[in-house]
Amino acid sequence: MRPSRIVVGSFALVAALLAPVAVTPAGPAQAFPTIVIPTCEQLLPASRWGSFFGPRTVLTSGTVTGASNARQAEIINSGAHRNCTWTDAKGMRSVTVSVAWIDIFEEREIRAWYVANHISLTGLGGPPVAFAFVPHPAPRTEMHYTGNMFFIAVYDRGFGSLGASMQDSYAALLSVNPWMSTT
């Protein structure tokens, strides 16, 4: 290569490096999705109760959690959450649903508790979402649904509505947080 081309090429490179660059402002930052906790009516709508709940079933508590484990109840109550307990007219049967937003460390702690207590997880479509059936003597049943940023716990005392209650609760969670179905 001839020395004149090297000199001209070097000047062109320096000129390109020193030339003003038009900077365009970055677009607005992606906002973190708004987290909404469904209301008790959204979690288990009276219109869907059907044969599981009688017409005189009423919301009786907002403080009891759907998790029977004390640490899991603490996790539920320590952050954004909702607890809803419905009881039949005679006070003999009830179902409690808790929905809580959790962080990755709480999720890991909950899942470690399942392992330590030999409770198997059932996934729907694979991780990170998993169901756990927590053993209790009949007619009590408990089910958890743990996923990325959420924990749903349902404790059924005699209604036999565990699956339907969980499905309604998860559907309510998705309906008020539609961005969750894309994550």
Sequence spans of domains, the chain: 40-182
Per-residue confidence (pLDDT) for residue 30, from 0 to 100? 60
* Other beta carbons less than 10 A from residue 120's beta carbon: 10
Residue 35 has φ and ψ, to the nearest 5°, of -95, 125
Per-residue confidence (pLDDT) for residue 125, from 0 to 100? 59
* Other beta carbons less than 10 A from residue 149's beta carbon: 17
Handedness of CA 87, 164, 159, 136 (dihedral sign): negative
CA gap 148, 137 in Å, rounded:
30
Helices 104-116 and 70-78 cross at an angle (nearest 10°) of 170
Per-residue confidence (pLDDT) for residue 91, from 0 to 100? 87
Per-residue confidence (pLDDT) for residue 127, from 0 to 100? 55
Sequence-separated (6 or more) residues with CB below 8 Å from residue 38:
82, 99, 169, 172, 173, 175, 176
Q: Which two tokens stand for residue 130?
A: 């998993």
Per-residue confidence (pLDDT) for residue 158, from 0 to 100? 87
Counting as low any pLDDT under 70, the low residues of the chain are 1-32, 49-52, 124-129, 182-183
Residues 46-83: tens digit of each pLDDT:
777 666 677 778 888 889 999 999 999 999 999 999 99
140-147: strand order across its sheet = 58-61, 81-87, 94-101, 150-157, 140-147, 130-134, 121-123
Long-range contacts of 158-162 (CB under 8 A, 24+ apart): 158/92, 158/93, 158/94, 159/52, 159/53, 159/88, 159/93, 159/94, 159/95, 160/52, 161/52, 161/53, 161/95
Per-residue confidence (pLDDT) for residue 10, from 0 to 100? 54
CATH of 40-182, one of 3.40.50, 3.40.1000, 1.10.3470, 3.30.70: 3.40.1000
Say whether the peptide bond before residue 128 is cis (omega within 30 degrees of 0). Answer: yes
State the pTM of this model.
0.78
